[in-house]
Structure 1
Amino acid sequence: MSLTHFNLTTKLLERHQQQRFRQCKTHDSPQSATLIHQGQTYLNFSSNDYLGLANHPLVKKAFIQSAEQDGVGSGAAHLVCGHHRQHQALEEELAAFCQRPAALLFSTGYMANLGVINALVGRGDAVFEDRLNHASLLDGGLSSGARFSRYQHNDVDDLQQKLQANDSLKKLVLTDAVFSMDGDLAPLPQLIACCQQQQAALMIDDAHGFGVLGNTGAGTSEHFGCTVDDVPIYMATLGKAVGTFGAFVAGSQELIDYLRNFARPYIYTTALPPAIAAATRQSLRLIAQETWRREQLQAHIQIFRQQVLAQGWSLMASDTAIQPLLVGDEQRALQLSQALADKGFWVTAIRPPTVPVGESRLRITLTAAHKTADVQALINALAELRTNDV
C-alpha cells in the first residue's frame, strides 16, 4: 500500500518552513576534543564524552582483546544464551560502583527507561514527571497506561500537590538527575523527602551525571549522599562520560530480579556485544583512578562561565558540563552555530521541538579532553561574535 495518505511530504515541508528540518552531518574522526567533517577539523564542543574516554587507548585495547577472544555479536538475548561472563562481571562492578546490591544491563538508555517504567506501573497506577524530562522518560510514562502527570520543572511543591491529589496505590516519580538541555540538577534531597512523605517510589535518570558527579564519579546520587533507600531506582547510560555504549539500572536485588523477568526491552533484545562490556569495565577503572579528569572538567566549567557571563551572554543556571547559551530565536541560534563553525568550532544549535518555542540555544558541552587553550579559544570566539553582534 502507498504512503500517500500519511502526508509525509507535507509534514517534511512544514519542518523545512519552520527551519526545524534535521539531518545527520557525517564526521570522520573518533570522539575527542576535535572533530573532522568534510576534511575540516573543528574544536568539538557538542560531545557528551565528558571525561574524554571514548577514544582512550586502554578502553580500545580492552574492546579489541575481548573481540578477539569473545567474538563480536552476543548472538542472543540475555535470558537465552547471550549473557556472557563479561556482562555478568560488568553488572557486578556497576552495582559495586554505585553502592547498590545489584545492576542490570540494557542496550540503550531509552530501552532501559521504557522497560523499567512499563514493568513497574500500568493502568490504575500513576506516574509523575518533571516537565523537562528526557523524551525516553516521558514516552515510558505515556506508554505505560498509568495516569500521567507532569509537574513544573524542579518544583517540589507542585509535585507534592499532585501526589496528594492522586489516590492511586502505586505512584512513581520520574526525573532526570542532570537535565540534558538545561544542565541543571534535580533537587534530589527535597524530592526524596516528598516521595517518602507521599509513599511514592523515585526513579532518576542519571545519564549526564554518572561518571562526572560525586567524589568517585558515581553520579548525582553520590553527589547528594543518597542511599538505595532514598533512590530505589537508579538508571544511567554508558555512552556519555563512560565513553562506551548501553545503559544499566541499579537497585535492590529484588528490583533487578523483577526487571529481569518483566522488563520487555531487556527480555526481547539481543545482549550488548561482550567487547562493549569489557571496554566499559576498563573505563570504570579509569573513572575511579583518574580523578584529574573530573577536576579538569570542573576547572573548564568555572573558567567558561565566569568569562562568558562577563561578556553579556545569557547562560542557563548550570554547574555541569552542559552549558546552554540561551538565544531564544531559532534562526539566531542557527546563525550563531554557523558563525562558530566558520571559526572552527563545532557547536550545535538546539531548537524546538527538543526545547520549548522561544528557548532555542547553543548547547555547549565541555570535556576533560579539552585543553584550557581550547576553552579559551571558544570564549574568545564568543567575545568576537558578541562585539560584532553576529
Structure 2
Amino acid sequence: MRQTRKESVMTKPTSLEIIEKIVREWFRREMSMDLQTIDYDMPFLDLAIDSLGAISITAEIEDAFGKRINPELLYELDSIRDLAAHLDSLPKFLASGSVASDDLASDNSASDDLASVSASELDSSTDPSEGDRIAEDPISYFTRLNRKVNTAKEQGVYPFEPEISAHDGVWVQCEGKRMLMLASYEYLGLLGHDELDRAAEAAILDFGTGHHGSRLLTGTTSNHCDLEFRLAHWMRADDAIVFSSGYVANLATISALVGPGDYIVGDNLNHASIVDGCRMSGAEFKEFKHNDMDELVSLLLESGGRRTLVVVDAIFSMEGDIVDLPSVIEICKKNKALLMVDEAHSMGVLGKTGAGIQEHFGLAADDIDIKMGTLSKSLAGSGGFVAANSQIITYLRHHARGYIFSGALPSVYANVAIAALEVLRREPSRVEQIWKNVEYYHAGLKRLGFDTGASETPIVPIMTRTNDVTMAFTQLCRSEGLLVVPVCYPAVPMDSPRLRTCITSTHQQSDLDFALDVLARAGRQCGIIH
C-alpha cells in the first residue's frame, strides 16, 4: 500500500482524515496491520477490504458522520477521497454522537483532536450549516454514483444487459453476434417449446394479455386455480399461491409470516429477495455462516422463545451448492422453528423427476413448512409461488401485501407453467440429461485447472480473483462467441468475483466442448489458468 503523505494534525479533522482513520483502525483491529497512512486515492478493492469489512467500516462512518450510507459505496465510489466528497454532499441523518469509538481513541498514531472530535464539530468543519446548505443537483448526485457504469459504457466494455435479438435453442443472436448461451437458468430447454407456445396462445384467446386487477379482487382466472392445484400436488403440499414474480413471492411471504417481535435466521448466502423480505418484515434478523449447522443451532438458542422462521435456499444461486437440508430440518424441529426453503434453482433440477430438494433427499412431505419456487427458470415462464399447509396459504392470500396490492400474474403465464409441468412429468429424461451435461462440464473445467468453488449443480461459478480480471475474462469469451456473465460485489462477497456459468439439458456435447475451448483460451490469456 502506498504511503503518500504525513498525517496532519488539525483541531477540526476533515472528512478525508476521519474516513482514513476508520479504515486504518479496521486494518489494525481485523487484519493486525498497523498502517501509518493510506493513500486517499487508492481503490478500496485494492486495499483488499472484503464484504464484511465494508459493512463494518460503513457502520463506523455512519456513527462518525451522523449520515446514512450503503456499504456498496465502498465499491461504487472507489476511494477515501471519493467517499469523503460524497459524504460532504449529504445532510445529517443519524442522531449526533461521538465520532470516534474507544478503539479509534486508542490509536496513538493519530492526533488526540482527531480521536475525540464530536459529530457537531465535524459538521462545522466539513459541512455547510443547515441554513447555508445548497441542495445538490439530483442528476449530479446520481451521475457520481453511476461513474463506473458510465465509464464502462463509454469504453465499450459494459457487460450487463446484453441485448438478445433471436433465440435458437442454446444459441442466441446477441448484439450482432451468434453466441452460445452459457448463462441461462432455463435449465430444461423448454423456452420456445411448441406445447408452451400453444398454451400461451390459448390463454391469450381466452383471457387476453393482462388481467382485471389483483388476485384477491378480480384478477383470478381458472388458469390460476388450475396451476395452484398442480403446484401443490407437485410440491407435496396442501395448497399453493401464485405471485407475479419470484422476488415478490419471497418479499411478500416472509414479511407476512413474521414481523416486529419475531425472529428470523437465514444462511448468509441466501438470495437477495430472501434477505430483503427478512429486513422488510421488521423481525430481528440473524445470518449464520454458509451451511454452518453449529452456528444455526447457536443462533436459534438466542430466539428467547419468540416465533422463529428459518429461511434457506435449496441450491445457492451464486455458489451452485446444495443446502444441508436434513440437518436444517432436524435443527428446526428441535427448536420449534418454522422452515421456509427457496427452490427457485432446484425445481426441475434436483430429484429423479425434477420435483426438487424433497425428492433429492427423500424427505417426508411435511418436513418443509413453506416451499417457495419460481415459474421463470425450469418452467420457462414468469412468476413465483409458495406451497404450504392450507392455513398458511389462506393467511397469505389475505395478508401478503405483494399478493393483495399487486396486479395478478397474467393468465398466459399460468397456462405456460401448466404446460411446462406436463412436459416435465412426461419427460423426466430432461432431468437425467442435465446431470450428464453437468458431470461432463465439471470434469472439463477441473481438467483445465479452473476453480469452481463448491459447485455441485448446473450453476458453475468460475472464480476470477479480481473485478478487472472478471471483466476482461467476460469480454474475451464474448469476443469468441460465448455468452457468459460476470458477477461481482454486492451479488457476491467483495473478494470473490466470478463468472457464473449455467448448464442446461439441451446443451450438446459439442456445445460444451466449444465452451471449454473458449474458456481455456480466455482463462490462459487472463492468467486464471496456465
Q: Report the TM range for the smaller structure's normalisation.
A: over 0.9
Give the Cα separation in 2 of the matches to 1:43 and 1:374. 7
TM-score (norm 2): 0.71
Q: Is 1:343 aligned to 2:480, yes or no? A: yes
CA distance, structure 2, for counterparts of residue 91 and residue 132 of structure 1: 29
Q: 1:199 to 1:6 in 2, by over 3 A?
A: farther
2:304 alignment partner, SS class:
coil
Does 2:183 correspond to 1:183? no
Summarize the Cα distance change of 1:269–1:30 in structure 2 as closer, same or farther, 3 Å threshold: farther
Deviates more, 1:380-389 or 1:60-69: 380-389
Alignment correspondent of 2:285: 148
Q: 1:257 to 1:311 in 2, by over 3 A?
A: same
Contact preservation (8 Å) 1:177, 1:186 = yes
Partner of 1:126 in structure 2? 263
1:162 lines up with 2:302 in the alignment? no
Q: Give the distance between the partners of 2:159 and 2:491, measured in 1 at CA.
A: 12
- Residue 242 of structure 2 is matched in structure 1 by 105
Distance in 2, matches of 1:193 and 1:61, equals 44
How far apart, CA to CA, are the structure 1 residues paired with 2:184 and 2:409? 22
Does the CA contact (< 8 Å) of 2:473 and 2:523 recur in 1?
no
Which residue of 317, 322, 333 maps to 1:196?
Answer: 333
Q: Which runs of 5+ in 2 are unaligned?
A: 1-134
Change (3 A) 1:155 1:17: farther
Q: Please state whether the residue corresponding to 1:315 is helix, strand or coil.
A: coil
Q: Pick the aligned partner of 2:253 from 99, 107, 116.
A: 116
Report the secondary structure of 2:386's partner residue.
strand
2:224 corresponds in structure 1 to: 87
Q: How far apart in 2 are the matches of 1:371 and 1:166?
A: 50
- Aligned-partner Cα distance in 1 for 2:392–2:205: 34
Change (3 A) 1:3 1:124: farther
1:29 is paired with a residue of what secondary structure? strand
Between structure 1 and structure 2, the one with the greater Rg is: 2
- 1:265 counterpart residue number: 402
- RMSD (Å), alpha carbons: 2.0
Identity within the alignment, %: 34
Structure 1: state its 5+ residue gaps.
Answer: none
Q: Secondary structure at the match of 1:43?
A: strand
Q: How many residues align?
A: 390
Structure 2 residue 518 is matched with structure 1 residue 381:
yes
Asked if 1:233 is matched to 2:370, the reply is yes
Matches of 1:148 and 1:317 in 2, distance apart? 26
Relative contact order higher in (CA < 8 Å, ≥ 6 apart) = 1
Matches within 5 A, 1:1-80: 4=138, 7-13=141-147, 23-30=160-167, 32-80=169-217
1:372 and 1:229 map into 2 onto residues whose CA distance is 39
SS of the residue corresponding to residue 153 of structure 1 reads coil
Tell me how far apart the structure 2 counterparts of residues 6 and 191 of structure 1 sit (CA, whole Å). 48
SS of alignment partner, residue 165 of structure 2: coil
In structure 2, how many angstroms separate the alpha carbons of the residues matched to 1:144 and 1:187? 26
Q: Determine the C-alpha separation between the residues in 1 that align with 2:428 and 2:456.
A: 18
Q: Is the 8 Å Cα contact of residues 47 and 365 (structure 1) preserved in structure 2?
A: yes
Q: Which secondary structure does the structure 1 equivalent of 2:167 belong to?
A: coil
Deviation at 1:13, TM superposition (A): 1.8
Structure 2 residue 454 is matched with structure 1 residue 320? no
Asked whether 1:361 is paired with 2:498, we answer yes
The change in CA–CA distance for 1:386 and 1:111 in structure 2 (over 3 A counts) is closer
